[in-house]
Amino acid sequence: MHFFDVGRRFYGGYAIVAGGLPIATGLALAERMQGRAGVVACFFGDGAVDEGEFSESLNLAALWKLPVVFVCENNLYAMGTALARHQAQTDLRRKAEAHGMPAETVDGMDVLAVEAAMRHAVDTVRGTGSPCFLEARTYRYRAHSMSDPELYRTKDEVEQWRARDPIATFVVRLQEQGLLTDADLAA
């Protein structure tokens, strides 16, 4: 199922792995051709970097200097294969750098770090008119799908990552800074 809200320029998500990359590139081209100052944000998982659309989209965006931020949510396992088993280069930002675009890696488990990195990426695109890439290193706690037997990682590993849950750690930070009370949280 796709959700589109053209009035707000939200063009939805796509079930096809890497399917949103060429669409985002086209939307960025439309921004440029129509003389608008918008920045397109394209979100995808680490499994998408295996697909030809990834390289094709980054190449065209860099070549044509399109206003798009490519955000890779790297959860280390694609569907169920560890990153090192499907990528010779596991530092995914380097793949974007190979296309001549600025690239950054951020701790995807830190809400404030992600916000700051995304703000920087958007400012970079607005300042240069060219694309950039943001790799958010994160984790998923559940299987990829109902048919995933989840034999590729240990319960211990999942629990270690759970201890860094971005929502829970953000709540603690807000409480420590006096910005969120127990009553606020309960409400």
Whole-model pTM over 0.75? yes
Mean pLDDT confidence for 11-16: 68
Does residue 144 have an active-site annotation? yes
Which residue among the candidates 32, 86, 120, 152 is catalytic per the annotation? 152
13 has pLDDT over 70: no
Number of C-alpha atoms within 13 angstroms, CB side, residue 143? 8
Which residue among the candidates 36, 85, 126, 140 is catalytic per the annotation? 140
Residues 104 and 121: beta-carbon distance below 8 Å: yes
Which residue among the candidates 32, 86, 120, 144 is catalytic per the annotation? 144
- For residue 134, give the nearest of 67, 74, 72 by alpha carbon: 72
CA distances from 56 to 59, 99, 104, 134, 162 (A): 5, 10, 20, 17, 35
Percent over 70 (pLDDT), the chain = 92
Q: Which of 77-81, 114-118, 172-176 has the lowest mean pLDDT?
A: 77-81
Does residue 140 have an active-site annotation? yes
Please name the residue that has the structure tokens 């295996």: 50
Indicate the DSSP class of residue 145: S
